[in-house]
Each structure stands twice: as structure tokens, then as C-alpha cells.
Structure 1
Amino acid sequence: MSSISESSAPSNVNPTNALVLPNILYPVINQLDKSGYKDIQSDLRTTLFKLEEIYPGFSNTFLQSFINKETPLLSATMNMNELTLKLEKYCDKSPYYISLSRSEQEFQELNARSRSLKRILSRIPDDINEKRDFLETIKEIASAIKTTLDSVSNTYQYFKTLDGRQALENEKKEFIKYSKHFSNTLKAYFRDSNRDDVFIAANHLLIQTDYLLRTIKLYCETNTLDECLYPLLSQHQNHIKTVSSRYSSSSQQHNSRQSSTASNNRPNSSYDTNYS
């Protein structure tokens, strides 16, 4: 794996903030039509999304404040990092996946594998209390990460522009970085038993999977993306640009030094995509 994947610490943005909307509040908004409030669904959804983009963590803070006031007993025992992770398997996430209009096997395989990864990650809160079950879940997650990455690589042939391929490379690097972070967090968990760190690391992987799928949808589909599905996307994209720029600059300097020494005149490899 490249030096970027190993040395760059994951951003300090809490991934739970990006999951409160799609995993908790959006499903509630989607039920408003049954109560006669269908006409305000879209406006409410858009407003909450904009508030989250301007004030990261707004939805999380709003929801926890509401619960603190209305059900203080529940508030004392509720862990939002755990709740958003656990609810992933109950949410309709079909808009995140590649549409059936792309019937190529590579896209549908990617859908199946990424969906499986997210479903296994969402089992962590249920399995973490039983060591044997949790160890089995960890093995399944490692396998699902590898097969998802393989499926992502199989879609490169459908990217028609250099910008698209570079965008996917950047997202893939981020996914690998957070996969390594998740692995390191698990190692720490078996030393300190900090479950919350595991929930947060798993939520990071859920978000990174969504960003990977979004990039493929953006360059390989004609349908308009629903940007409200991706709270905190702007922060993620700014981070990607910063890291990509730093990496490009470092690579150029490295290549320049290599070109000045004939014995070291070899191309600079980008990164190893193997997850271990």
C-alpha cells in the first residue's frame, strides 16, 4: 500500500454525522406521506441536508437534544455511533447503487458485493459481544472489502475520461486507507475493549463505500445524482483534493530525483490495492 494510505490518518470528521440523516431522519421523512404531509417532504429533506453541510453535526445534535428532552431514560443508554451502524441494514439504500440500466455484469457484481459489505458491517453491534461470532464477522468483512475492491477495479473499462478514472483512483485510495484504519482499530479493540471506536471505524467504511459508488454513478450513469444522499460530501471532496495534490507534488519530486540518477530510473508505482 502506498505511503499515503499508510501515513495519512483518517479525517477527524465523525462519520456518524453523515449517517444520521440517511439512516434515521430520512426514513422518518419518507413516512410523512402516510400522515398527510407529503407536500413538505422534499423541502424538509433539502433543508436538513443544507443545515448539515453548513453546520456539520447539526442533525446529530438536533436528534440527541430532542431525545434528551422527550425520553431522557433512552438518552442515557443510547449510543448514536452504534445506532446509525445498526440501522444500516434496515434502510432502503437502493438509490446509492448502480441502476439496473447498467446491466453489465461488472456493475451488478459491484452492487452485490458492496451491499454485502455494508450488511456485514451493520452486524457488528449484534456480534461484538460474542467473541467467536465477532471473529467470524471480522473475517467476512476482510473478505468483503477485498471482493468490493476487485469489483471496483473491474469497472475501470467503462470510464471514458481521464478525470473519471482519476476520481475513482482517489476514492479507492481513501477506501483502502479507511480499511486499514478499521483493521488497526480492531487490533486496538482486543487490547482496550473500546467498542465505540469500532463503531466509528465501521461507519467510516460505510461512508467510503457510498462515496465509491457515487463516483462510479457520476461517471457511468446518465441519471442525475441525488446529492442529499451524501451529507458531508463537500468536506470529503476537499480532503480528497488536498491529499491528491500533496501526493501528486510528492510523486513529481520523487520522479525528478529518480530521473537525475540513471540507476534509479524506474516508474513510481501508485499503491498496492491488496488489503491485509
Structure 2
Amino acid sequence: MMTNEDAPTNVLILPNVFYPLLEQLDKNGYKDLQQPLRTMFYQLEDKYPGFSKSFLQLFIEKEPHIQQQQQPVLQNMNELTLKLEKYCDKTSYYLQGSEQEFHELNIRSKNLKRILSRIPDDINEKRAFLETIKEIASAIKKTLDAVSNTFQYLKTSEGRQALENEKKEFIKYSKNFSNTLKAYFRDSKRDDVYLAANHLLVQTDYLLRTIKLYCEPGNLEEYLYPSLNHYVKSQSSSYNNKYQNNNVRNSSAISGSGQHQQQRPTSTYDTTVFT
């Protein structure tokens, strides 16, 4: 069973490891196989959270030549999924509308995810890593500002509340990432940093998904977000009714209820938590 601790890495195994491999089937002439396999892996991950991670680990164990050649990279799944983020085509995750605010959010969120994916390379050199941390703090602030600019396109109070809740969740994991960095400079536990960064990758996708759900439901691809129904423990009925046919999580159950603000929300994230 997937726990809250390993959930972000398990969620990323499919889009960052398996889906790119399956896309190669199309390029190699096996066009009839990609979608059935993609659906099968998604359904297995949805029913048995952590299946994809276990399958990958078992495959590596059964292939000694892979284990010998790639073990330094593959032995840490948190690091692997984070590092692979910059190589994945995540076009389907981003907003397709022509609105300038959507375009800006796409750029800001892509940049944040790209910088986060550099962590495994930059963490080995303190000066480079400190510079990366500064870039991440700036990218988080810019992403939150870009999210705030999209509230005008969510026409229902339900949609605005859903995005506000998702934004609060993003801020929570941003601060968790900051605290993890502070702990890292005391205990040097890299894996904790990788896991915290994976949380931010997933939360960034959740922000985009919530906007797509209420602004571009026709562009919402079902199989991009595995095991989200296992990511939280409870759901509220109104938000769940909106999500249930798309197999997505209920962010309002995580962040709690609150009064809807009519004015456009502003960023409440303080980048000084990184210093």
C-alpha cells in the first residue's frame, strides 16, 4: 500500500519512467501497443498503489546486466523520478488555451520543474546547489503569482475554491521543501531532499490539473495522474462529484474549508523560508 511518504515518487513512476518508454513503441512501429499498455499500467497502479515501482525494481533485479550498469542511478527511485523530469514530454499537462495568463503559468511551472530536476546533479557541489536553491525559491514565487492571475477564468465558486485549496497545498509542500533543505545542511540526507522535490513536482501538476478541470475539461487526459484516489484519506462530496469521473483527488479534503474570496487571491508564499 502506498504511504504518504512515498506517494509522490510512486505517482511519478508512470509519467517519468514508463510512459516515455511506451512512447518509444510508437516510434518503433508498435502503434497498437502503446495505449493498451498505458491503460493497463494505469489501472494496475490505481488498484495496487506502488505496483509500477515494484515492477520496475523486480525487472532490474531479474536483469543482472542492467543492475550492474545502472545500479548507481536506479537504486534510488526518488532520485530517478526527479532526474528524469527534465527529459519527459509533459505537453499534455499544460494549459492549451490562448490566454496570456495560461501561457505565463505554463512557462513558470515548466521552469520550476526544470530547476527542481537539476537537484541530483547540483547537490554534489555546494556553491552550485545554493544557487539552485535561490532559483527554486524565485520560481516558486513566480509560479504562485501566475496561478493567482488565472483565477479570473474560473467562473464558479467551486472552481475558485478548488484552486485556492490546491494553492494552499502547494505552499505547504514548498515550505516543507524549505525545511528539508535546512535539515539537509545538518544531516546530509539527500534522499529526503529528492522526496521533498518530488512532492513539489506533483503539486505543480495538481495546480495545472485543477485549472484544466474547470477551464479546459476536454483537454484533461485521464491516465496522466495515477493513484490519486489513494493519495488522500477522505473526500468531500461536492468536490468529489466534479472529480469522480476523471479519477482525480479531492484537494479540498486536504486543505480544509474556507470562505471564498471574491477578489483575486495573491501569493502568500514567503521566499525567505529558503534562507
**TM-score per shorter chain, which class?**
0.7 to 0.9
Pick the aligned partner of 1:62 from 55, 61, 65. 55
Change (3 A) 1:133 1:98: same
State the TM-score, normalized to the length of structure 2.
0.83
Higher relative contact order, structure no. (Cα contacts within 8 Å, ≥ 6 residues apart): 1
Pick the aligned partner of 2:129 from 107, 125, 134. 134
Aligned runs of 1:1-276 on 2, under 5 Å? 11-70=4-63, 71-74=66-69, 76-77=71-72, 78=74, 79-99=76-96, 102-236=97-231, 238=233, 241=236, 244=252, 273-275=268-270, 276=273
Provide the rounded CA distance (Å) in 2 between the counterparts of 1:73 and 1:153. Answer: 48
Maintained 8 Å contact 1:156/1:165: yes
Structure 1, unmatched stretches of 5+, are 1-9, 253-269
| 1:240 Cα deviation from its structure 2 partner | 6.7
Maintained 8 Å contact 2:49/2:230: no
| 1:245 Cα deviation from its structure 2 partner | 5.1
Maintained 8 Å contact 1:110/1:148: yes
| 1:105 Cα deviation from its structure 2 partner | 1.2
Provide the rounded CA distance (Å) in 1 between the counterparts of 2:149 and 2:184. Answer: 34
Maintained 8 Å contact 1:68/1:75: no
Provide the rounded CA distance (Å) in 1 between the counterparts of 2:255 and 2:40. Answer: 36
SS in 2 for 1:92: coil
The alignment yields a C-alpha RMSD, in angstroms, of: 2.3
Q: Looking at CA atoms only, which structure, 1 or 2, has the larger radius of gyration?
A: 1
State the TM-score, normalized to the length of structure 1.
0.83
| 1:231 Cα deviation from its structure 2 partner | 1.2
Q: How many residue pairs were aligned?
A: 247
Provide the rounded CA distance (Å) in 2 between the counterparts of 1:247 and 1:96. Answer: 22
Provide the rounded CA distance (Å) in 2 between the counterparts of 1:169 and 1:240. Answer: 16
The amino acid across from 2:95 in the alignment is I
Partner deviation per Cα, 1:3-31 (whole Å, 9 max, x = no partner): xxxxxxx9334311111111111011111
Provide the rounded CA distance (Å) in 1 between the counterparts of 2:177 and 2:256. Answer: 26
| 1:248 Cα deviation from its structure 2 partner | 5.1
| 1:108 Cα deviation from its structure 2 partner | 0.5
Change (3 A) 1:86 1:104: same
Change (3 A) 1:226 1:238: farther
| 1:195 Cα deviation from its structure 2 partner | 0.4
| 1:246 Cα deviation from its structure 2 partner | 8.0
| 1:76 Cα deviation from its structure 2 partner | 4.4
Provide the rounded CA distance (Å) in 1 between the counterparts of 2:164 and 2:219. Answer: 22
Provide the rounded CA distance (Å) in 1 between the counterparts of 2:223 and 2:81. Answer: 17
The amino acid across from 1:84 in the alignment is T
SS in 2 for 1:223: helix
Change (3 A) 1:29 1:198: same
Percent of aligned pairs with the same amino acid: 67
Structure 2, unmatched stretches of 5+, are 237-249, 260-264
SS in 2 for 1:38: coil
Change (3 A) 1:53 1:38: same
Provide the rounded CA distance (Å) in 1 between the counterparts of 2:162 and 2:142. Answer: 20
